[in-house]
Amino acid sequence: MLVEVPFGRISLVGLIIEVTTYSELKQSKLKAVLRVAPLIPLNDRLMELGYFASQYYIHGLGETLVSAIPKWWRTSSNWSKPLQQLIAKEKATAQSNSKKKIAQNQLNEEQTHAIQILSNHQAGTFNTYLLNGVTGSGKTAVYLTFIESLLKLDRGAQALIMLPEINLTPQLQRRIQEHFPEENLAILHSGLTEKQRGIAWHQAMTGAARIVLGTRLSIMTPLPKLVAIIVDEENDSSFKQQEGLGYSARDLAIWRAKNERLPIILVSATPSSQTWHAVKEGRYQEIQLSNRVGGFQFPNVELVAPHKSSRSIIMSPMMIRALEVNYREGRQSLVLINRRGMAPVISCSSCDWLSECDHCSSYMVMHRQLGHFKTPMLCCHHCGLVKPIPQACPWCSDVDLQPLGRGTQKVEDQLQTLFPQATVLRVDADTARTSKKTEALFQEIHDGAAQIIVGTQMLAKGHDYKNIGLVCVLDADARLYSNDYMAPEHLFAQLVQVAGRAGRFSGAPTKILIETRYPDDPVYQYIKTFDLAGFMEHLMSTRQEAGLPPFSYQALVHAEARQKKEVLTWLNHAKLFLQKTAYLQTGITVFDPVPKSIARLGGWERSQLLIESRHRAPLQALLNELEHYFRQQSLGRISKVGKVRWSIERDPLFI
């Protein structure tokens, strides 16, 4: 139960997790609870999930459970507000959106078969399904129909649908709302106001909402009569929280389904390697949809060599020609580049000076304009530092400073110059700063107001475009040749996603041009034929050879301090401690501490230590010991000596 208690001179909101009749303290030392929140207690199943997450992700129980409760409820002054009135008001605005039942498309044979398999699921048992199908194969219709049947069976039943990023997928949200016009949907994501989130959470907890649609944070929602969980785009990395409790909502969802004995459906066009492996081992049941509904065609993929480095030309002449042809044919083009701003760095023409950030080991990006600054500025995308561009080189005073490379703004500028008649639209984190602005940008694309759209990966999430004739992917290699072993898997998924968004429902097939220096790389070879199985098998064999996940389990120890020496000393001590334990005999490898790919961030020196294990259980035991060892020498998660901030992360997605 959520309560307010006296704490020193102030009062705090906390969670009562147990009641005891005995205390070692004198009665006079005990204090009474000031107030109890007007909420029903969290149910046992949710508490079990909290205990598990806290133990598995090596995070305090309080931090885990309390942070899962919306802030609105953690503010005790809200407890006396007229809740029913607030709910009614919230509903009134939500309902003005839509209430009409949309005629559902007829399901094809394959979809009907998929639903049949799911309908055979025995209530009260756990099973993980992988619903795997290319874009346009009707996966959403399958899981929505399945949920509909479960909700019909039991008037109190609830379902949880998790999506990677709701802000970018309003179409899917609308579709789900239209499928269940009679149902009260609770929507949970970080773009809502605290009050909206608080109300939605309350609706879920009381059973008033039968469908909860949420991002990763919705996994800890109390749902008294949960009957099924859906994880859409299960391979998306945003299901993994990077800061604090570094949990994977996808993994917790599977644990929750198992603990509550429910069916869980993982949905993807490009399943994660982890899921693929589990299917091959027979732990998950795969349901495949291979046909496309609604006249969907896969695009034709061509690999294009990048234009030789030149300051004036931003892409290969072949791409520019293709853009021209497509423009003349009256179809829209997407140009994707995962780098915002004008130029990733500026340099001095006479010496080696580059626009490095004062606080990070990375370069400051040149922006043509940034927020309220109307003149070109330098901005660090890691720590947020903003500076004017120097008049002259700080090292040699030469005034000839040149931008190097290209970002979304530069591509936008040059294309506008090349195609003066066309409307060029830019979609990136700078132009789409609020969900309202994002909606407006996407609306312009759907209305056909823009003919050439330049943007980051944001463009490839969620929206289906009807009139795209050409997609140009710039700088694809940038992701591939990082030291991250997951990079090929992420790139392949991204390219399939791009293809899926653009290939839909258009007349002539869309063309995708991918700029690469390494056309022989397996990622590009398999993407040419959209051969998911071929790519995954290749990926699995390389991972198995190298002993990487899913054939092993990993954990990272993160450490940062003001001085590099302190960080390395701390991590070397950790390594020594780990080597002294007996676990190294059980197939655990401890690597040397190494600086992170961005070794200095906002003035903090950062390094990490990788631990790899062939089995899950000994790794868990080892990490518990390690945490205990760290805690003895720390105040919270900051070491007493050297002030090193540390954390332990399970199953890291980026190394």
127 SS3 class? strand
- Give 428's contacts (C-beta < 8 A, 6+ positions apart): 340, 408, 455, 456, 458
Cβ(165)–Cβ(461) below 8 Å: yes
Q: Give me the least distance between CB of 385 and Zn ion, in Å please.
A: 5
Q: Give me the least distance between CB of 384 and Zn ion, in Å please.
A: 7
Q: Give me the least distance between CB of 371 and Zn ion, in Å please.
A: 16
Total residues binding Zn ion (CB under 5 A): 15
Q: Do β-strands 285-289 and 158-162 pair in parallel, antiparallel, or remain unpaired?
A: unpaired
Residue (55 or 563) nearer to Zn ion, CB: 563
Residue 259, classified by CB atoms within 10 Å of its CB into exposed (0-12), middle (13-18) or buried (19+), is middle
Contact track, Zn ion, 382-421, x by CB under 5 A: xx-x-------x-xx-x-----------------------
| C-alpha pair distances (Å), 612 with each of 90, 553, 651 | 48, 6, 10
Q: Give me the least distance between CB of 225 and Zn ion, in Å please.
A: 48
Residue (18 or 352) nearer to Zn ion, CB: 352
Q: Give me the least distance between CB of 398 and Zn ion, in Å please.
A: 5
Structure tokens at 454: 């330049």
Q: Give me the least distance between CB of 224 and Zn ion, in Å please.
A: 46
Q: Give me the least distance between CB of 595 and Zn ion, in Å please.
A: 15
Output DSSP code: residue 601.
Answer: E
Q: Give me the least distance between CB of 350 and Zn ion, in Å please.
A: 5
Residue (200 or 370) nearer to Zn ion, CB: 370
Please name the residue that has the structure tokens 């147990």.
18
Q: Which of residues 570-629 bind Zn ion (CB under 5 A)?
A: none
Residue (358 or 592) nearer to Zn ion, CB: 358
Amino acid at 382: H
Out of 360, 441, 450, 653, the only residue in the binding site for Zn ion (CB under 5 A) is 360
Cα–Cα distance for residue pair 483/495, rounded to 1 Å? 20
Cα–Cα distance for residue pair 170/175, rounded to 1 Å? 8
Amino acid at 214: G
Cα–Cα distance for residue pair 113/293, rounded to 1 Å? 15
Output DSSP code: residue 354.
Answer: B
Out of 33, 88, 351, 533, the only residue in the binding site for Zn ion (CB under 5 A) is 351
* Interacting span for Zn ion (CB under 5 A) from 46-54, 373-381, 525-533, 585-593: 373-381
Out of 307, 359, 573, 575, the only residue in the binding site for Zn ion (CB under 5 A) is 359
Cα–Cα distance for residue pair 474/514, rounded to 1 Å? 7
Residue (63 or 400) nearer to Zn ion, CB: 400
Q: Give me the least distance between CB of 600 and Zn ion, in Å please.
A: 8
Which H helix or E strand runs over 268?
Answer: strand 263-268
Picking from 154, 2, 10, the residue whose alpha carbon sits closest to that of residue 73 is 2
Q: Give me the least distance between CB of 339 and Zn ion, in Å please.
A: 16
State residue 240 phi and psi, 5-degree precision. Answer: -100, 125
Does 380 interact with Zn ion (rule: CB under 5 A)?
yes
* Interacting span for Zn ion (CB under 5 A) from 346-354, 474-482, 512-520, 545-553: 346-354
Residue (329 or 398) nearer to Zn ion, CB: 398
Residue (225 or 311) nearer to Zn ion, CB: 311
Does 348 interact with Zn ion (rule: CB under 5 A)?
yes
Q: Give me the least distance between CB of 346 and Zn ion, in Å please.
A: 11
Does 154 interact with Zn ion (rule: CB under 5 A)?
no
Residue (216 or 382) nearer to Zn ion, CB: 382
* Interacting span for Zn ion (CB under 5 A) from 23-31, 43-51, 232-240, 343-351: 343-351
Residue (131 or 378) nearer to Zn ion, CB: 378
Q: Do β-strands 604-613 and 553-561 pair in parallel, antiparallel, or remain unpaired?
A: antiparallel
Question: What b/e sequence results for 331-344 when a residue is b if at least 16 CB atoms lie within 10 Å of its CB, and e otherwise?
Answer: bbbbbbbbbbbbbb
The DSSP-derived string for 1-53 is -EEEEEETTEEEEEE-----S--SS-GGG-----EE-SSPPPPHHHHHHHHHH
Residues in touch with Zn ion (CB under 5 A): 348, 350-351, 353, 357, 359-360, 380, 382-383, 385, 393, 395-396, 398
